[in-house]
Amino acid sequence: MHWKADLKTAGAGDFTIPIIETREDACKPANAKLVSEARGIFLGGGDQVKLITILSGTPVGDAIWDNYVSGGIVCGTSAGAAAITELTLAGNEVDEEGNLVEQYIGPGLGLLDFKTLIDTHFSQRRRLYRLFVAIAGYPEIMGLGIDEDTAMIVRGEIGKVVGKGGVTFVDGRTVKFDNAEEVTKGRQLTLSSLRVGIVGTGYTFNLREREIEALLDERPIRTSLRGRQTLDPRGSR
């Protein structure tokens, strides 16, 4: 199995790969026990909607959540990465038969908060437009488009980009006009003042502030009347 070789190459040490293809599998006590005792959990690729449907509300799904909130490491690739946020995105692209698949936005596993939504294979599959459409419909959500062979390692509110590509962030809070409701009726998307940026390898990004840490570190320091040093809010404009 390719996963075994890849995990060994990455230095994962001892690991077990439980096969969870149905909700029945996700309800087995033995599988839930494996997950709850794991030092790290890796969610594979495939179909993120199916993955969430199988895991949500099951002992395995609960074990993933409990492991995460107890300080465990949860990560994923492709669909596994797309599933860990509050909302998950799928569809709105042409399938192998040339048909446009309807866009789906629904509940994710909710592990990564800060109102984020993850899209994967981002540059390689040219998914920027798809993420624009998603954020236009949910402007309070921040989209994170992760390139192939790239990861964002999140500790607290800080994410560091590693790998060969970058992570594109799309913030819809500044949008002044959009026609998101009309897009489903066949019209092209129209947006104004959408905030977009790219975080390259080695850079860190503040998920709460939705900004590159290097910019936040440059905010000037002012002294208050009581002698305390605080960040000048004008420096972030």
Say whether 96 is catalytic: yes
C-alpha torsion angle, residues 71, 88, 76, 31 (rounded to 10): 70
- In whole angstroms, what is the distance from residue 237 CA to residue 235 CA? 6
Q: Is 78 a catalytic residue?
A: yes
23 strand-pairing partners: none
Burial (Cβ within 10 Å: 0-12, 13-18, ≥19) of residue 111: buried
Its sign, for the CA torsion 42, 45, 50, 52, is: positive
Q: Catalytic: which of 21, 24, 56, 121?
A: 121
**Catalytic choice (21, 24, 56, 78):** 78
Q: Which of 2, 70, 96, 224 is catalytic?
A: 96
Buried b (16+ CB within 10 A) or exposed e, 199-210: beeebbbbbeeb
Active site residue 70: no
Active site amino acids: 78, 96, 121
